[in-house]
Amino acid sequence: MTNSSSLRALIAEDEPILAAALQQALQRLWPELQIIASVDNGQAVVEQTLRLRPDILFLDIKMPGKTGLEAAQELAEDWPENEAFPLIVFVTAYDEYAVSAFEQAAADYVLKPISDARLGKTVARLQQHLQQDNGSNAALDSLIGQLRNMQPKAGAAPLTMIRAAVGNQIRMIPIGEVIYFEASDKYINVVTAENESLIRTSLKELLPQLDSRQFWQVHRGTIVNHQFIQVATRDESGKLSLKLRGRSESVAVSRVFAHLFRQM
């Protein structure tokens, strides 16, 4: 069980008035909780959460840079082994979205505008979670399961051809020749056995256009054509990587997607 007098929380909210209102409400409802930081964008969420290691993270869904969900996935992938993952409370203005997406969330969700009555229930749930803490990383396991369930669904007509820029030319790449896609800044690197080419889109936009029976997301920045997977290797620390036919480099698998290779 965690000592209630030493609990620390981080607030991620890009609207200053709402961030201040949440902090004031928490001070009323849970005066022992220490608010150690308040950040206003997704990248800062990741950086400050990894640096400060809060016990609880109040995470707004819609923020500049990275969304709350993208920040949560990055934290799940990069969180140090054998360290307790923070309980996450998602904050959203969309009731239907919250109910469907976070019904089984690691801790809870709250709706904007935040009321003391609703936040009080969240505080009670958080305190119960913390009292039941037995040293396992249940919060991280629960978040990983939630993120898996929220992966984009494939569209009706998967892509059959990729149009990629190579210098001043446009290359037409049959989808079956793609070994993997890798996010690179505002582009995606399309990797085949012979070439690498760039397309200007995001993995979030691309993934629903791919046939999920053929292409598997294995990291927040990587989608692989599973037909090219030769070996999945686990190192001494438990991290997975893939050897792909036709390529010399290995591709990392994050803990969010490690379940895809349990039987391999």
pLDDT digits over 99-114, tens only? 555 554 446 788 888 9
161-261: in CATH 2.40.50.1020: yes
pLDDT > 70 in the chain, percent: 87
Mean pLDDT calculated for residue range 122-131: 90
Query: CB-based contacts of 205: which residues, under 8 Å, 6+ apart?
Result: none
Mean pLDDT calculated for residue range 14-28: 95
Contact 256, 73 (CB under 8 A): yes
pTM: predicted TM-score of the whole model, two decimal places:
0.78
Mean pLDDT calculated for residue range 45-54: 97
Mean pLDDT calculated for residue range 221-231: 97
Range(s) within the chain of domains with CATH label 3.40.50.2300: 4-149
CATH hierarchy code of domain 4-149? 3.40.50.2300
Q: Does 165 score more than 90 pLDDT?
A: no
Indicate left, alpha or beta for 53 from its phi (over 0: left) and psi (-120 to 50: alpha): left
**Which residue has better confidence, 156 or 7?**
7
Range(s) within the chain of domains with CATH label 2.40.50.1020: 161-261
- Which of helix, strand or coil describes residue 54? coil
pLDDT reported for residue 105 = 47
Residue 198 identity: L
Instruction: Kindly state the DSSP code that residue 207 receives in the 8-state scheme.
Output: G
- Which of helix, strand or coil describes residue 179? coil
CA pair distance 111, 101, nearest whole angstrom: 13
CA pair distance 49, 79, nearest whole angstrom: 9
Mean pLDDT calculated for residue range 199-213: 92
**Which residue has better confidence, 21 or 104?**
21
pLDDT reported for residue 104 = 45
Q: Does 204 score more than 80 pLDDT?
A: yes
pLDDT reported for residue 197 = 92
